[in-house]
Amino acid sequence: MNSEDILHQVADEVAVCTKCDLHHSRKHTVPGEGPPDAEIMFIGEGPGFHENEQGRPFVGAAGKFLEQLLASISMQREQVFIANVVKCRPPGNRDPQTEELAACSDYLERQIMAINPKVIATLGRFSLQRYLPNAKISQVHGQAVRVKGRLIFPMYHPAAALHQPSLKVTVEADFAALPKLVQEAAKIPEYVDQTTQETEEEPKQLSLF
Ligand code: URA
Ligand code: SF4
C-alpha cells in the first residue's frame, strides 16, 4: 500500500471507530488532511465545534490563525498535513482524557509513518506530550528536538495565542523558523525513512538549529 492508500484506510477506520467514548457525541470524525508526502505535519489537540460539524481539522478561529501563520512563511494549508491527537470532538472542547488519547494513538502513528514528514510541529501540550511527556511548552517551544528518530518542533497551540495575545509574537517567531528547519532536516543522517522502525531513544537536543 502506498502512503495515500494508508491515509485513506486510516480515515475509513476512523469514520466508524468506537474505540473510545468520544464516538458517542461526535457528529463527524476528523481524521486529518493534507498531501501524503507533506514535509511538515502539524498535530493539534482535537476537533472543536466547527471541525466536528465539517469533518475537517482547523477550520475555526484557530485554523484561520494557522493559515495566517502559514502565509507568513509563504505556505498554504494544502501543502502541509494537519491532524489531531484525537479524531473525535471532546464534548464542550474539554481536554482529551488519557484513555481517549491511548485509544486514538495508533491512527495518528500510522499517519505519521505513512507521511514520514521531515518535521512534526506539535501544537499545544497534548501532541507535545506524545514526544516529550515531561516537557513544559513554555520552556521547549521553538526548539527542535529529535525524538524517536523524528524531528519534533514544539509550538504553542494557535488557540492559546488567540486567548492570550501576548503569545502571538512568540508563535509567529517560532513559525518563522520552520522553513529553515525543514531544509536542515533533510540533511540529518539519522532521518528515518519509511521502512525504519521508530526507536526508543532518549530525546536529543539538536545543536544544529
Ligand atoms: N484545535 C485543534 O487542536 N484541532 C483542530 O482541529 C481545531 C482546533
Ligand atoms: Fe476512535 Fe479516536 Fe474517535 Fe475515540 S477519538 S472514537 S479512538 S477515532
**pLDDT digits over 169-201, tens only?**
999 999 999 999 999 888 776 544 433 444 444
Q: 3-192 has which CATH code?
A: 3.40.470.10
The CA distance from 43 to 32, in Å, is: 9
Distance 155 CA to ligand 2 centre (A): 24
Looking at residues 110-117, what average pLDDT do you find? 98
The CA distance from 105 to 101, in Å, is: 6
Cell (9 digits) for 164: 492570550
Chain centroid to Cα 8, Å, comes to 18
In the chain, what are the domain boundaries?
3-192
Looking at residues 114-128, what average pLDDT do you find? 98
Which ligand lies nearest the alpha carbon of 58?
1
Which ligand lies nearest the alpha carbon of 101?
2
Q: Which atom of ligand 2 is least distant from the CA of 100?
A: 4
Distance 103 CA to ligand 2 centre (A): 7
Residues having CB within 6 Å of any atom of ligand 1: 44-48, 51, 57-58, 60, 62, 84, 159
How wide is the angle at C-alpha 110 spanned by C-alphas 192 and 197, nearest 5°? 35
Report the phi/psi class of residue 118: left, alpha or beta, with left for phi > 0 and alpha for psi in -120 to 50: alpha
Q: Give pLDDT tens digits for 42-80.
A: 999 999 999 999 999 999 999 999 999 999 999 999 999
